[in-house]
Amino acid sequence: MTRAPAQAEELEKLSVEAIIERLLAEHPSAGSRGALCLTCSFQAEDMIVLDLLRQRLPQVPVLFLDTGYHFPETYAYRDRMVKAWNLNLHNLTAKQSVADQEAQFGILNQTDPGRCCHLRKVEPLFAALENFDVWFTGLRREQSPTRRNLKVLEHHELPSGKKLLKVSPLAAWTWEQVWKYTAENQIEYLPLYDFGYRSIGCEPCTAVPSLGADARSGRWGGRKLECGIHTESKRADG
């Protein structure tokens, strides 16, 4: 188990760049195979964390949950950025193909979206995270009420008992800060944002949120706000 920084609370006061530098300094093996990864849906927040990480660790493992239900624009953007940034992409898939799952269970994203997310997102990700000790994300507190208490650094335990550090450097950032960084660093972004989307997941379960609503209110038709990858692991630090 990778130990947590002795002064983890100080990370809340640091810049995103300083947070990453501190974590890499306190975990000198982070650049080695299997130590550190980033979950990336190729949304704007993830691309910022990825941009900062790849400047320090060019071959940082990038874990993408390929559910088989993403927008065509998401797949095209993923492929462009993998090529442009020479990314070390880990394309994670479910045990069953979309066709096999639908043949056995029907259209779960309509009848039981929680089960669909578990099969196509949670299970593949948790299996992959068994190989890592430090897990970076692009999560922000502002995204939804379920993320309001998000910490920059959290201890997490997977259902298997595997323990790891979960790092969300952008936890305190606003939507305006996300786009300021994106523009200033000339990062190509997922074109779906131009159509009003704020939180982009699988196509059948993603809609443009209502004016003034939080970013994730357009997900799953309002029936839930999380797919499970950030709620089914156990936060072990209070």
Q: Which residues are catalytic?
A: 227
- Whole-angstrom CA distances from 171 to 14, 98, 127, 144, 165 are 11, 33, 25, 12, 15
Q: Are 5 and 145 in contact (CB under 8 A)?
A: no
- Whole-angstrom CA distances from 210 to 2, 138, 196 are 42, 23, 10
Q: Which secondary structure element, helix H or strand E, spans residue 135, and what is its range?
A: strand 134-136
Q: How far apart are CA 201 and CA 185, in angstroms?
A: 24
Query: Coil, strand or helix: which one is 225?
Result: coil
